[in-house]
Amino acid sequence: DTEVTQTPKHLVMGMTNKKSLKCEQHMGHRAMYWYKQKAKKPPELMFVYSYEKLSINESVPSRFSPECPNSSLLNLHLHALQPEDSALYLCASSQAGASGVEQFFGPGTRLTVL
Amino acid sequence: GQNIDQPTEMTATEGAIVQINCTYQTSGFNGLFWYQQHAGEAPTFLSYNVLDGLEEKGRFSSFLSRSKGYSYLLLKELQMKDSASYLCAAQTNAGKSTFGDGTTLTVKP
């Protein structure tokens, strides 16, 4: 299985809602990533988990809260988002502890904040 | 810091060859990725270069010069399905990848 899955595919939420994005992989990868991608822009790294521990937080606002409950799952909890947070949120995974390894991307969750 | 530059748009003809350039200035540089991204889809891996030189993989080849901070992606025998955005990403020794803004390639018949 060489697939990263993400749910939901689309999400519309109000600024007062609480929602979660989910990501799953069964490739035995121990590094998982959250990226944010706005239209016609490249992916921007948000968080990196290595061996289920948060290793990189790119100064992301606290209204985004990542969680890695086990080596296969990665969540992104959303609360009190702003309309400018509307974007495609991509999850990726790779082998951990090794640079130069390919990141496998999921299909993304397209988030709209009203 | 990191600074990655690539052309915004390129157009080429079906069956032709196109070269997409990428320059980078990256602290702690380790290697360079190329990804392909079709509109509305996730990026897919094309290549990774850590050593100087050319790596060939079918119709796609990628080149790196570490001393010049320069890479290119070469696409041969272009097909209509190659119309996509091509992203170069510089990776640091810490494993962090930063993407360029992408080059939108349009292949015309």
Mutation target among B46, B62, B99, B105 for the A interface, most CBs of A within 10 A: B99
Please tell me the predicted confidence (pLDDT) of residue A103. 87
Instruction: Return the residue matching tokens 């020794």.
Output: B93
Q: Which positions ≥6 away from B9 have C-beta within 8 Å? A: B103, B104, B105, B106
Q: Tell me if B28 sits within 8 A of A85, measured CB to CB.
A: no
Shortest distance between the Cα of B46 and any Cα of chain A, in A, equals 9
Please tell me the predicted confidence (pLDDT) of residue A98. 57
Contacts of B38 in chain A (CB under 8 A): none
B89's tokens: 């990403």
Contacts of A104 in chain B (CB under 8 A): 45
User: Averaged in consecutive runs of 10 residues, what is the pLDDT profile of chain A (114 residues)?
Assistant: 89 93 95 93 92 92 96 96 96 78 90 96
Q: Tell me if B72 sits within 8 A of B54, measured CB to CB.
A: no
* Closest Cβ–Cβ partner in B48, B50, B94 for A102: B48
Please tell me the predicted confidence (pLDDT) of residue A96. 74
Q: Which residue of A has its CA nearest to B94?
A: A99
Q: Which positions ≥6 away from B84 have C-beta within 8 Å? A: B36, B37, B38, B39, B104, B105
- Gap between the Cα atoms of B64 and B91, Å rounded: 13
Please tell me the predicted confidence (pLDDT) of residue B33. 94
Please tell me the predicted confidence (pLDDT) of residue A40. 85
3-state DSSP call for residue A85?
A: helix
- Gap between the Cα atoms of B98 and A98, Å rounded: 16
Per residue in B71-103, pLDDT (tens digit) is 999 999 999 999 999 999 998 887 788 899 999
Residue count of chain A: 114
- Gap between the Cα atoms of A34 and A100, Å rounded: 18
Mutation target among B97, B101, B103, B104 for the A interface, most CBs of A within 10 A: B97
Please tell me the predicted confidence (pLDDT) of residue A99. 63
- Mean of the per-residue pLDDT values of chain B: 93
CB atoms within 10 A of CB B57: 9
